[in-house]
């Protein structure tokens, strides 16, 4: 494993690693992270290892996607543990870790709140759902990921794939659109969401739930599963009743539950929901199960 701290070091390491390979077109798999790696990242690393000749992992806590300076300051920074977890998941491929400091990623950066002159906008996809309660968050994500792709793009004929979890469905849709709209030659590879046997989507936030909270949280996946069953059996999609399942629990506060186009995040019309689905859709939900805000999503297949 090679640990790089600067753009120049990372580029040199990727060039050397791909030049060493005898393949006509070596495949490089990038897993962008903010560090503090856990089992969820393990799935991203495992898929990147499986599908590529070289694995690159970026570890960078991106100030542009935080609103609160305290959250940014206290975000866990655990590079030594992260490196150990990466080595465990990718034991048999060349691995390059890119862990720049803030000034390396954003030249001229002095303090929290500084934003580069030129950034990438997430457009209207970034102001709905999670973006509605976190203004600027997805612009920050688009800006840093575009910079990572530009920095870590291997020289031709090697190709780049970039791995994102389906758990953050909105982030995945926005970054897929970013690559397409900006003509960035990167293949986006989604990694399936992992559920506990209870149905609960795995998330590092679940650690903050007690047994009662864990129980309450199951209503999110239960509501989504009801919608999925309706889609699978070609019935109308009853979003109203699914919302009511969550609203009926006084301890859980629903933020949104919508059925949307997976690529554009535009909600399906009432007419589309009244008939068997004519195209795949995505059900998105967010709710506060005190003390945490949880998100979940499920694909609703066309009937
Ligand atoms: O999902 C994350 O951890 C971050 O949003 C990402 C993609 C690494 C960008 O900072």
- Atom 1 of ligand 1, nearest CA residue: 33
Same domain, 280 and 131: no
Phi, psi for 268 (deg, rounded to 5) = -70, 150
Residues 107 and 161 in one domain: yes
Are residues 22 and 110 both part of a single domain? Answer: yes
The contacts of residue 205 (CB under 8 Å, 6+ apart) are 292, 293, 294
Neighbours of 133 (CB within 10 A): 12
Q: What is the pLDDT of residue 203?
A: 87
Does 150 share its domain with 8?
yes
| pLDDT beneath 70, residues of the chain | none
How many whole angstroms separate alpha carbon 49 and alpha carbon 88?
Answer: 11
- The answer to whether the pTM exceeds 0.85 is yes
Q: What is the largest CA-CA distance in the chain?
A: 61
Q: Cα of 127 to ligand 1 centre, how many Å?
A: 17
**Binding-site sequence positions for ATP:** 34-41, 165-168, 194, 202-205
In contact, 232 and 255? CB cutoff 8 Å: no
Does 114 lie in the same domain as 221?
no
pLDDT at 189: 98
41 is an active site residue: yes
286 Cβ partners below 8 Å, 6+ apart? Answer: 129, 130, 254, 255, 256, 293, 294, 295, 296
Residue ending a domain, among 163, 191, 219, is 191
Which pLDDT does position 18 carry in this prediction? 96
**183, 41: one domain:** yes
Nearest protein Cα to ligand 1, atom 6: 33
Phi and psi dihedrals of 246, rounded to 5?
-80, -45
Q: Which of 191, 221, 247 is the last residue before a domain boundary?
A: 191
Q: In the listed set 123, 158, 191, which residue is the last one of a domain according to the structure?
A: 191
Q: Do the beta carbons of residue 59 and residue 98 sit within 8 Å?
A: yes
Q: Which residues are annotated as a binding site?
A: 34-41, 65, 165-168, 171, 194, 202-205
What is the domain extent for residue 103? 2-191
Question: Does 198 reside within a domain?
Answer: no
Please identify which of the residues 41, 89, 137, 240 carries the catalytic annotation: 41
Q: For ligand 1, atom 5, name the residue with the nearest CA.
A: 141
Same domain, 187 and 262: no
Ligand 1 pocket mutation pick from 38, 141, 147 by most atoms within 8 angstroms of CB: 141
């Amino acid at each position: 494993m090679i640990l790089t701290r600067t753009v120049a070091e990372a580029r040199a390491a990727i060039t050397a690693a791909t030049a060493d390979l005898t393949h006509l077109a070596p495949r490089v798999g990038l897993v962008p992270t903010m560090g503090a790696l856990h089992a969820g990242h393990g799935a991203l690393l495992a898929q990147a290892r499986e599908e590529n000749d070289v694995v690159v992992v970026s570890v960078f806590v991106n100030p542009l996607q935080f609103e609160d300076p305290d959250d940014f300051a206290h975000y866990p920074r655990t590079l030594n543990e992260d490196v150990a977890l990466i080595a465990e998941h990718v034991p048999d491929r060349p691995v390059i870790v890119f862990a720049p400091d803030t000034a390396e990623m954003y030249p001229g950066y002095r303090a929290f709140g500084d934003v580069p002159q030129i950034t990438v906008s997430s457009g209207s996809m970034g102001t709905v759902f999670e973006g509605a309660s976190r203004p600027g968050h997805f612009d920050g994500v688009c800006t840093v990921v575009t910079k990572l792709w530009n920095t870590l793009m291997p020289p031709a004929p090697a190709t780049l794939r970039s791995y994102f979890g389906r758990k953050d469905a909105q982030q995945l849709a926005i970054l897929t659109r970013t690559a397409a709209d900006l003509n960035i030659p990167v293949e986006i590879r989604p990694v399936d969401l992992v559920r506990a046997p209870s149905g609960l989507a795995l998330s590092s936030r679940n650690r903050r739930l007690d047994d009662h909270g864990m129980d309450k949280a199951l209503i999110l996946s239960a509501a989504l599963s009801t919608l999925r069953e309706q889609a699978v059996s070609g019935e109308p999609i009853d979003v109203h009743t699914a919302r009511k399942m969550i609203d009926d629990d006084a301890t859980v506060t629903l933020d949104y539950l919508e059925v949307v186009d997976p690529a554009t995040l535009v909600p399906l019309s009432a007419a589309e929901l009244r008939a068997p689905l004519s195209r795949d859709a995505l059900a998105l939900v967010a709710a506060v199960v005190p003390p945490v805000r949880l998100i979940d999503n499920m694909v609703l297949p066309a009937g």
